[in-house]
Structure 1
Amino acid sequence: MTSVLRRRPLAAGAVLAAAVLGIPGPAAAQATTPEAPDATQAAQQPEAKSKPKANPKAKAKSKAKSAPGELLGSEPSSFQYTPGVPTPTKAWKISYRSTAADGKPNTVTGTVIVPDDGKTTPRPLITYAVGTVGLGDKCAPSAGFPGGTTAEAPLVNAALVRGYAVVVTDYEGLGTPGDHTYMVAAAQGSAVLDAARAAQRHPEAQKFGVSGDAPVGIMGYSQGGGASAKAAEMAASYAPELKVKGTASGGVPADLAKVAESLEGGDSAGYLLMSAVGQNAAKPDLKLDSYLNDEGRKLAEVVRNECVGTVLEAGRGKTIEDVTTSNPLDRPEWQQAIAEQLIGTVRPSAPVFLYHGDADETIPYAVGQKLRADWCGQGHAVEWKTFPGQSHVGTAIQGNGPALEWLGRRFADQPSTGNCGT
């Protein structure tokens, strides 16, 4: 049974192309293999329609009257890690109650996936946060899993072959009404934690060992690195009942201001407007549209409706000056909004594995180093791993195995003292 799951997972993983982790051009070509389809193209042509609704037959409660993590709806789904390769798994698309960026109740969708291996006793659960897919509803991870077009599905599969259950959030505003609150730390962190709660409450998943008694791991890279790192900071106060054993976060955009400085005018400049749209979705009083010129408004329309490959192509080489009448980052309200997304100010409640490529062209290596220093300075157990010479995408691929091995040791209750002193 596991042989089907194991067939070509790492080869397919090498296809983590530009679409999800956001590297166009040479890095994407470098990551592509002849065995697998172009993930950029696949991620922009998902089979599912936008704005999916929860199963109307599911027993659902009003989000306003439910608790964070409560399961609001479920419908059968399926999981392929590459097109045309079914896996021995069970999957369900879920909707669940979470907390919006403004602190109000919201509804988020996601996918629960379990190995169909006959095991019914409690098994570890990983709540997995994907990297950038885009802001269009059609780009949501849950839309691509059935057809194998979600680009990080091979990395998710690597957890499934180890016997772990996995839940993948779609984040706020992906597949649900409103703009995706892209790079808004608290909204992403709560979506990750509430996905774990919802998975544990799923009656069908419980038959396959998904249980509140089992250990929980948090994991993600790039945007998902930020979401998982924020979830690590929030876990003790927001979801104290979860038995979080550790968090593995890679390529973490912990300081958005520093990331913005490195991206402006470059190949990945489209991320800047994506982030601006995300911040505005969380705080409409920022009035992003009032700063945009005609070119900026056209690009913002692309950002809101398309997947990341299209956005990066449209935004390639753009500066803030190219798309605005005045720079919103010069305004104190925008500066405050960006400052609120800083990660590293709160000590996580469980050990952390951080990894970063020292040739990362999207999220500066120094940003990852600073997060490590911040958490180490708080006396936290941080295990840090550098991938020499590796790009953003390259580190996502090479770091996935070590991250899962590190989580496996935490699930086995092996101690982690970190390597802050080295």
Structure 2
Amino acid sequence: MPARTRALAVTALTVLTAVFALSAGPAAPAPAQHAETPAPGDVVSVQDSAFQTLPGQPTGAKAWKIHYRSTSATGAPNVVSGTVIVPQDGRTGPRPLVSYAVGTVGLGDSCAPSSGFPKGTVVEAGLVQQLTGRGWAVVVTDYEGLGTPGEHTYTAGRSAGHAVLDAARAAIRLPQAGLSAQSPVGIMGYSQGGQASSWAAELHDSYAPELDVLGTAAGGVPAQLDKLVPVHDGSYGAGLLFMAAAGQDAAFPELKLDSYLNAEGRKLIAFLRANCVLIDTTVGAFKKISDLTVEDPLATPAWQKRLHESDLGTHKPDHPVYLYHALGDELIPYALGSRLRQDWCAKGGAVTWRTILLGTHVTGVITQSLKAADWLADRFAGSPTSGDC
């Protein structure tokens, strides 16, 4: 069986058997040298780790868990954890780097990808292996507050974009990875990872212009959070809505989510904050905002203002983007991805757009993973693209 076919098989098996990642608790970081003048992307600590796609299936890649400096949604300095993965393929020349952003894993610290990679419990590990199988280094951020002190700022777009870009900076600055400041960089993610990747694409020219980002591949992007409220309120995806509310509250404490909740609502949010996505979405399914609140926070001006701060499409990425969305996406409507494409195209962006005609939100990441990686490979090879706007 060809290597890429085996990688796809592992990916499909992983996603279809688990659907969402369930991760184990994080290990304590080992101390490392601090930069004299702290800056975003500086490595704070590093420890040896491991990368497995399934339990008991090592990949032959070296991995390190890192803590690195980044920036919150409000511009405050913070520290984020992540994993740097480098294939051991004997390559001696320059190696591309992909900053990979995972989809929703949950709000509890045990859900962090860096905790699950050594045990083979991260669903998207198979997708990451497709990238390392091409000889690329990969860095996977845990996002702000996931596996580090504080709450996970789930769906706060600017925070996630910073974490993705600073993960690339940190990987380049990690001596063990063997990368350099001239390493070509790609960005990739789906769902929550699609939001994070798209934010990284929009922020690149202002926040991390020194990174040689050649392309971003983003799929299933929740480009406008307020449009998801009527989709999920009272539906089987309601748990994601309440997780997002908790994430926004973590990013912007002045929102005071708990003050809007009744006793049942406070109990649910506390549960969601401590657990991973599979159980969170199960427990939160079909619940309504009106059943859990004394007042709907998402309808207030303060909450609407913060939600709109995560809107995408307001700034053209300074590099080509591969954007894809499933026509039958039941969790993030197709119209949101299509609108993002229109907004970027209207600003002169180089956007390649792909509609996934068959499938749902979860299957979309599988059916497009190889095509998205092929598109990134063309960018690393120097092939030009102006998109198909």
TM-score normalised by length of structure 1: 0.90
Residue 100 of structure 2 is aligned to residue 128 of structure 1: yes
Tell me the amino acid that sits aligned with residue 126 of structure 2. P
- TM-superposed deviation, 1:54: 2.2
Counterparts in 2 of 1:6 and 1:369: CA distance versus 1, 3 Å: closer
| 1:23 alignment counterpart | none
Q: Determine helix, strand or coil for the equivalent of 2:384.
A: coil
1:269 is aligned to 2:238: yes
Of 63, 68, 78, the match for 1:106? 78
Contact 2:7 2:126 in 1 (8 A): yes
The CA deviation at 1:120 is 2.5
Matched, 1:162 2:134: yes
* Structure-2 separation of matches of 1:392 and 1:333: 30
Using the TM superposition, give the Cα deviation of residue 39 of structure 1 relative to its aligned residue in structure 2, in angstroms.
Answer: 5.3
Shift of 1:6: 5.8
Aligned CA-pair RMSD: 1.5
Equivalent residue for 1:53? 28
1:300 paired with 2:269, answer yes
CA deviation vs aligned residue, 1:335-380 (integer Å, no higher than 9, x gap): 1011111001000010000000000000000000000000011111
TM-superposition CA deviations, 1:311-354 (whole Å, max 9, x none): 10111001111111110122110010111110010000100000
Query: What is the CA deviation profile of residues 16-67 of structure 1, one whole-angstrom value per residue up to 9, with x for unaligned ones?
Result: 54xxxxxxxxxxxxx33xxxxx455xx33x34x24x43213x22358xx500
Contact conserved, 2:14 with 2:54, CA < 8 A, in 1?
A: no
Aligned to 1:145: 117
Matched, 1:324 2:293: yes
The residue aligned with 2:12 is 14
Displacement after TM superposition at 1:183 (Å): 0.4
Q: Match for residue 186 of structure 1?
A: 158
Question: In 2, distance between residues paired with 1:16 and 1:136?
Answer: 21
Residue 15 of structure 1, CA deviation: 3.7
Aligned to 1:71: 43
Say if 2:104 and 2:193, in contact at 8 Å, map to a contact too.
yes
2:334 pairs, out of 365, 370, 375, with: 365
**Structure 1: distance between partners of 2:310 and 2:345:** 19
**CA distance in 2: counterparts of 1:98 and 1:53, whole angstroms:** 19
Q: Which residue of 2 aligns with 1:416?
A: 385
How many Å apart are 1:109 and its aligned residue?
0.4
Alignment equivalent of 1:176, drawn from 134, 139, 148 = 148
2:319 pairs with 350, 353, 363, which one?
A: 350
Check whether the contact 1:89–1:114 (CA below 8 A) recurs between aligned residues: yes
Secondary structure of the corresponding residue to residue 417 of structure 1: coil
| C-alpha distance in structure 2 between counterparts of 1:316 and 1:412, whole Å | 45
8 Å Cα contact 1:16/1:397 also seen in 2: no
Summarize deviations over 1:398-417 as a string: whole Å, max 9, x none.
Answer: 11101000000011111111
For residue 340 of structure 1, the aligned residue among 306, 309, 314 is 309
How many Å separate the matches in 1 of 2:237 and 2:337? 18
How many residues of Structure 1 are paired with residues of Structure 2 in the alignment?
389
Write the letter of the residue equivalent to 1:102: T
CA–CA separation in structure 1 for the residues paired with 2:112 and 2:246? 17
Contact 2:80 2:142 in 1 (8 A): yes
Instruction: Please say if residues 219 and 225 of structure 1, whose CA atoms lie closer than 8 Å, have aligned partners that are also in contact.
Output: yes
Aligned match of 1:20: none
Query: Bigger shift: 82-91 or 223-232?
Result: 82-91
The match for 1:118 is 90
Shift of 1:9: 2.1
Show CA shifts across 1:228-248 (max 9, x none). Answer: 000000001100100000100
- Does structure 2 conserve the Cα–Cα contact (< 8 Å) formed by 1:15 and 1:39? no
State how far apart, in whole Å, the 2-side matches of 1:334 and 1:259 are.
14
Pairwise CA distance, 1:199: 0.2
Which sections of structure 1, spanning at least 5 residues, go unmatched? 18-30, 33-37
Q: Which residue of 1 aligns with 2:177?
A: 205
Distance 1:357 1:306 in 2: 28
- Counterpart-to-counterpart distance in 2, 1:379 and 1:157: 33
Identical pairs, percent: 54
Alpha-carbon distance in structure 2 between the residues aligned to 1:338 and 1:85? 41
Query: Which amino acid in 2 is paired with 1:266?
Result: S
Query: What is the distance in 2 between the residues matched to 1:406 and 1:212?
Result: 23
Q: Could you tell me which residue of structure 2 aligns to residue 26 of structure 1?
A: none
* Alignment-derived partner of residue 208 in structure 2: 239
- Distance in 2 separating the partners of 1:156 and 1:199: 15
Structure 2 Cα separation of the partners of residues 324 and 61 of structure 1:
46
Structure 1 CA distance for aligned equivalents of residues 149 and 93 of structure 2: 37
Once the two structures are TM-superposed, the CA of residue 14 in structure 1 deviates from its matched residue by 1.3
Structure 1: how far apart are the matches of 2:318 and 2:219?
18
Aligned equivalent of 1:22 = none
1: distance between equivalents of 2:89 and 2:105?
30
Q: What SS class does the counterpart of residue 123 from structure 1 fall into?
A: coil
Aligned residue for 1:14, secondary structure, equals helix
